[in-house]
Structure formats: C-alpha cells, structure tokens
Amino acid sequence: MQSKVIAITGASSGIGEAVALHLAGQGAKVVLGARGEARLEALAAKIQAARGDAAFVSIDVARRDDLARLVESALRHYGRLDVLVSSAGAMPVGPLSDLAVDDWEQMVDVNVKGLLYGISAALPVFQAQKRGHFINIASTAARKTVPNQAVYSATKAAVLALSDGLRQEFAGKLRVTVISPGVTDTGFLTHVRDDALRSQMKEAAAKFAMEPESVARAIAYAIEQPDDLNIGEIVLRSRAQP
C-alpha cells in the first residue's frame, strides 16, 4: 500500500472519507476529491497530522473537466496514479409517482456519468503506465430493488455493467473491482425528501447499518492483492441485514 497513489471521489464524507483515512493510514498517498473544499482541507490536514500524505482538489463529479483535474492533481503531486476509487454517490430516493425528475437526473449525473467521467480521465493514464486499478462503488441495491429505490437501483446496476465491460475489455492490462455495500451509516438519509420514508429508512438503518470503515477495509483488500489477481466484486453487508 505504501507505494500506491490513490485518488478518491466523494472523499469529504461517508465511505469516501473512511477510505481516505484507512488507506492513508496504511501508507498510501491519497488525492481527495469532493465538492466541499473546507471539509477536504480539514481531512487532508488530519491525514498529514497523522504523518500521512494527502492532496486535495474541489471537484463536482457531474462535470467532466473536474475529473480530469483530479487525475491531473495526482500526476502533478505524485507523478502517477495507481488507483481511482469512484465513491461519490447520490441517493435522493422516493416513489416514482413523485415524478422527482430533478432527483432522477442527479442520481444519473453523479452515479453513472460521474463514474464514466472518472474512467475517461484515468484510463489514458493507466494505459500509458500499463497498469492501474478502477474501484467502483455500487450497492446491493444494484441486484435487488425495493419500492422507492427504482432509479437509484438502476444507476447502481449501471455501475455493475460498466465495470464488468471495462474489466473484460482490459483483461490482462488493468484491474477493475466493484464494491457493493449494503446499508451503510453515511448520512444518506439527509437526501430523502419524504418525511415518512426518511423515518422508515432511519429505523431500518438503526437496526443493521454497518460502518463505512467496513467498506474501506474491503477496498484495501482488493488493492493489496498481487497485480496478476483481479477481485471482480466484493458484496458486503452487516450480519443483521436481511
């Protein structure tokens, strides 16, 4: 891990923040990307205070040029990029009958287009280096949708399809890993507009949400494998989640 340069989207909170702290703690050089510049600066300072190595750049994954700036930041600070962790996600779930088209577009922009923009920015670098590792965060919702989560599930199913297509096209050259977490304590409920639905989901999360550090450890496991081994997907959920 100590030789790795790892860029992380959505790094200012939730899973992305946990991943940044965990990997930096293991000696990786991390490049943090998210919209909240103040939180990124505080996180980078925390990592550096613990003798870790971190750089940061304020980005919005829904903007193609911003992902290019994230990759460029890694190259500028460290001379290369070994891993791109696409952790940024949006989850303003609700019933289809609400016709919350703006929320649907946000999920597509962040969860799907943001992933594609990251691929477009990092892939030429990985090809030139003849090595690289994409780690894409999906969800258990990619394979099992429930009422109120149809659009979110669709975007996460797209993550699975895009990741496996990328893996097949670059088999023997690059590594591609999908991490599919179950319910995770990330503050996602702040995105849910409907009070009754938010209360219902809060009650469920209290019963079986896992900590984001669990996801961080799974990502570290995938990265630490020998270069000739590709971990295709890791599905993880708390033991209590049905």
**DSSP-based three-state secondary structure for 158:** helix
Range of the domain at 171: 5-236
pLDDT of residue 202: 82
- Counting the structural domains of the chain, the total is 1
The answer to the question of residue 145 being in a domain is yes
Question: Catalytic residue at 78?
Answer: no
Residue type, 95: P
> Residues near 95 by Cβ (< 8 Å), separated by ≥ 6?
147, 148, 194, 197
Q: Are 159 and 137 spatial neighbours (Cβ–Cβ below 8 Å)?
A: yes
pLDDT of residue 192: 81
pLDDT of residue 176: 98
pLDDT of residue 124: 98
pLDDT of residue 45: 98
pLDDT of residue 242: 86
The answer to the question of residue 111 being in a domain is yes
The answer to the question of residue 162 being in a domain is yes
The answer to the question of residue 241 being in a domain is no
Q: Are 197 and 93 spatial neighbours (Cβ–Cβ below 8 Å)?
A: yes
What CATH number corresponds to the domain at position 168? 3.40.50.720
Given the residues 78, 117, 152, 221, the one annotated as active site: 152
* pLDDT tens, per residue, the chain with 242 residues: 888 999 999 999 999 999 999 999 999 999 999 999 999 999 999 999 999 999 999 999 999 999 999 999 999 999 999 999 999 999 999 999 999 999 999 999 999 999 999 999 999 999 999 999 999 999 999 999 999 999 999 999 999 999 999 999 999 999 999 999 999 988 777 778 777 888 888 888 889 899 999 999 999 999 999 999 999 999 999 999 98
The answer to the question of residue 86 being in a domain is yes
The answer to the question of residue 97 being in a domain is yes
Residue 87 burial (CB < 10 Å; 0-12/13-18/19+)?
buried
Torsion angle defined by CA atoms of residues 193, 207, 240 and 20, in that order, rounded to the nearest 10 degrees: 60
Residue 230 burial (CB < 10 Å; 0-12/13-18/19+)?
middle
What letters, b where the CB count within 10 A reaches 16 and e where it falls short, cover 127-145? eeeeebbbbbbbbbbbeee
The answer to the question of residue 242 being in a domain is no
Residue length of the chain: 242
Residue 76 token pair: 């500028």
pLDDT of residue 101: 97
pLDDT digits (tens, 9 = 90+) for 164-216: 999 999 999 999 999 999 999 887 777 787 778 888 888 888 898 999 999 99
The answer to the question of residue 165 being in a domain is yes
